[in-house]
Structure 1
Amino acid sequence: MAQKMTGALVFDERTDRYDIRFDLASYYGGLHCGDCFDVFTRGKWKPTRIEMNMAQEWYLVGIRADDLNGLRVRI
C-alpha cells in the first residue's frame, strides 16, 4: 500500500484552482473537480472531494470551511 503524502491546500491564481503544497518547492500539480483526498479537521482525518458550485466557488464535500487555503490534507 502506498504511503499518503501530507500537505496544505493553496490556491493557484494562475490556474484558478487549488493545489496541494507538500514543501517549499513540491506541489501536487493542481486539483480538479472530483479529486478525492483526506482533510484534517476537528482532530481527525475525513475523506472528501473537491468540487465547484454554480457560482464558480470551490468547496469540499461534507466539510464546512470559510476558507480552504491552508487546510491540512493528505493524498
Structure 2
Amino acid sequence: MSVDELREEALRLNPAARARLARELLASLDALSEAEIEKLWIDEAIRRDEELDSGAARAYPADEVLARARARRK
C-alpha cells in the first residue's frame, strides 16, 4: 500500500479514530534518533527545493509571510 493509499484510507476514518491515529503517529516520531531526524529534515529540504525548482511551490520574502501571519492573528 502506498502512502497516498494509506492517507486516503486514514481520511475515511471517523474523527475520533483519525485523532487517535494521528497521536500514535506523532508519538512514534519521538522515538527517532538524532540521525533519523536529521535525515528526515534533509529529505524535506530536498523535496521543498524540488518543488521550488519545478514551479509547484512559490517562495515569498520572510517579512511578507510574517506580516500575513501577524494579520491573521488579529
Q: Please give the TM-score of this superposition, normalised by the length of structure 1.
A: 0.18
Look at both structures and tell me which one has the larger radius of gyration over its CA atoms: 2
Name whichever structure is richer in helix by fraction. Answer: 2
Name whichever structure is richer in strand by fraction. Answer: 1
